Amino acid sequence: MAQAERDASEPAAAILAIRLLLLTGCRKGEVLGLRWEDVDLERSCLRLPDSKTGAKTVLLGAAALKLLAEAERRGPWVCPGGRAGESLKNLYKPWGRICKAAGVAVVRPHDLRHSYVSVGAVGGESLVVVGAIVGHSAASMTERYAHLSDDPVRAAADRISSAIAAAMSGVVSWLADQVDPVGRWL
């Protein structure tokens, strides 16, 4: 992605969308349909009026927040399309080319959501907390008993997106310093 960004071989909106998928665990449709009015940088969250599970708030980790704060604003859409006033509609071609250039087997953009959840779980975050971050409907049952406040969910979102951002920038040694010998976050 960094190479595609440097040589402008892929649309900036597509790269932004892929980075948001990686750093938030959102669904592709949630990112492609994201409007700037849904982004609350002050409260570090996205307020999605409609998603697969209905309206929801997505808490943003520091890396996702920084990405959005630095993103160019061209119209109402966070990831604008090729035509004025339209959102980006599809990621498949840019995603496929980026995967090919990276030597990675092409996987679905939705697999980035699975990766986000996996990084959180492997990093020692509870499935309840990770489920709360991504808005899994199965986590709603658990939340009835756990009554998660935003603080541990926001902290987990920050740790997960920071770990992914570090890996994306090639700072793998940083990640190794963040876990104990058993693989739990320090």
Identity at 87, one-letter amino acid code: S
Residues 2-38: tens digit of each pLDDT: 888 888 888 899 999 999 999 998 999 999 999 999 9
pLDDT value of residue 169: 78
Residues 33-92: tens digit of each pLDDT: 999 999 999 999 999 998 877 888 999 999 999 999 999 998 999 999 988 888 999 898
pLDDT value of residue 140: 47
Q: Which of 111-115, 133-137, 143-147, 166-170 has the lowest mean pLDDT?
A: 143-147
Report, as an integer, the average pLDDT of 84-109: 87
The domain containing residue 103 runs over which residues?
2-172
Would residue 185 count as lying in a domain?
no
pLDDT over 70, % of the chain: 81
Would residue 160 count as lying in a domain?
yes
Residues 6+ apart with CB under 8 A from 126: none
Report, as an integer, the average pLDDT of 128-139: 72
Report, as an integer, the average pLDDT of 97-113: 85
Would residue 107 count as lying in a domain?
yes
Q: Residue 46 phi/psi, 5° resolution?
A: -110, 135
Structural domains in the chain (count): 1
Would residue 178 count as lying in a domain?
no
Would residue 81 count as lying in a domain?
yes
Would residue 179 count as lying in a domain?
no
CATH of the domain at 12: 1.10.443.10
